[in-house]
Amino acid sequence: MEILKQDKRPLYLKIKEHIENLIDQEIYEAGDKLPSETAFAKELDVSRASLREALRVLEKEGKIIKSQGVGTFVSKPIPRFKRGIEELFSVSDTIKNEGFTPGTKALEVKKEKVDKKLALKMNIKEDQEILKLQRVRTADDKPVVFCIDYLNTNLFPIAVDDDFNHSLFDLLENKYKLKIKYAVTEIIPVTAKEKLMQKLDVKKDTPILLLEQMHYDEQERLFLYSKNYFRSDQFQFKVLRSR
């Protein structure tokens, strides 16, 4: 490995940059296994300690993945989804627009009676029966959003056996002819605990963006209350502000 003498940076940073160049030049492509530390250090003509530190930083940045007892691999590109928060979008459409295939995992659908807190949120009577939908939305089979939806079944006859594997908006608009007019949204930063760790395949305390939304139809009726947990390494939201 050629290292310019005038480059006064720590050696591990120069090794890191060199490995990044190898990846950028597709000498090592996404999913490829890197040589063992011993072989790689010999190939680059550097110490194993310096190489190990460079690999540690690359792993922290998500550019490589270490698998205990298996080896070190070049990470696959992480999908990044950017949307204006002023847009009322479906998760399915967002994923499709970026060239990925949307999917659904861990689908749970049931009818249940609301408690006092949820009744106040949805402006309905306590103990009224609603439909609760939980599912993980995926992009090319990678979990990106965990969705919890509460639907007021008094307003339309949505059923437990409906197809919830695709866009909920499409189902409501096409099958039930329900026109979604707007949503009131609150963005809440949270961190992943046990349930979100399992649903979104993230580590403890990973930053998550929670979009808590109240959806209204053309008659100004609140028909859907949703809590969508977006992986912050996958989604970015922007707001158009004017003066």
pLDDT tens for 185-196 read: 999 999 999 999
Place of tokens 């919830």: 164
Task: For residue 138, give the DSSP letter.
Answer: E
pLDDT at 219: 94
Residues in the chain: 243
Query: pLDDT tens digit string along 26-63?
Result: 899 888 999 999 999 999 999 999 999 999 999 988 88
2 located within any domain = no
Single residue among 74, 99, 115 that ends a domain in this structure: 74
Residues 192 and 205: beta-carbon distance below 8 Å: yes
Mark whether 56 and 85 lie in a shared domain. no
pLDDT at 83: 76
Average pLDDT over residues 207-221: 94
Tell me the pairing of strands 81-84 and 235-238: parallel
- For 41, the domain range is 11-74
Mark whether 18 and 115 lie in a shared domain. no
Query: pLDDT tens digit string along 152-194?
Result: 999 998 999 999 999 999 999 999 999 999 999 999 999 999 9
Q: Which percentage of the chain shows pLDDT scores above 70?
A: 95
Mark whether 22 and 108 lie in a shared domain. no
Mark whether 141 and 66 lie in a shared domain. no
Residues 102 and 137: beta-carbon distance below 8 Å: yes
141 located within any domain = yes
Mark whether 40 and 97 lie in a shared domain. no
112 located within any domain = yes
Mark whether 142 and 225 lie in a shared domain. yes
Q: Specify the range with the lowest mean pLDDT, choosing from 146-150, 172-176, 185-189, 230-234.
A: 230-234
pLDDT reading at 4 higher than 50: no
Place of tokens 């594997």: 165
Mark whether 156 and 218 lie in a shared domain. yes
Average pLDDT over residues 214-232: 95
Count of structural domains within the chain = 2
Q: For the chain, what is the mean pLDDT?
A: 89
Single residue among 74, 93, 109 that ends a domain in this structure: 74
| Helix locations, the chain, DSSP H | 11-24, 37-44, 48-60, 91-97, 116-122, 168-174, 194-200
Single residue among 74, 96, 112 that ends a domain in this structure: 74
CATH number at residue 161: 3.40.1410.10
Mark whether 98 and 177 lie in a shared domain. yes
pLDDT reading at 3 higher than 70: no
pLDDT at 1: 54
Give SS3 for 61: coil
pLDDT reading at 127 higher than 60: yes
Q: How confident is the model at residue 79 (pLDDT cuts 50, 70, 90)?
A: low
Interacting residues of 213 by C-beta distance below 8 A, sequence separation 6+: 183, 184, 185, 186, 224, 225, 226, 227, 228
Q: How confident is the model at residue 138 (pLDDT cuts 50, 70, 90)?
A: very high
Distance CA 217, CA 152 (A): 12
Mark whether 153 and 227 lie in a shared domain. yes
3 located within any domain = no
Mark whether 226 and 158 lie in a shared domain. yes
CATH number at residue 53: 1.10.10.10
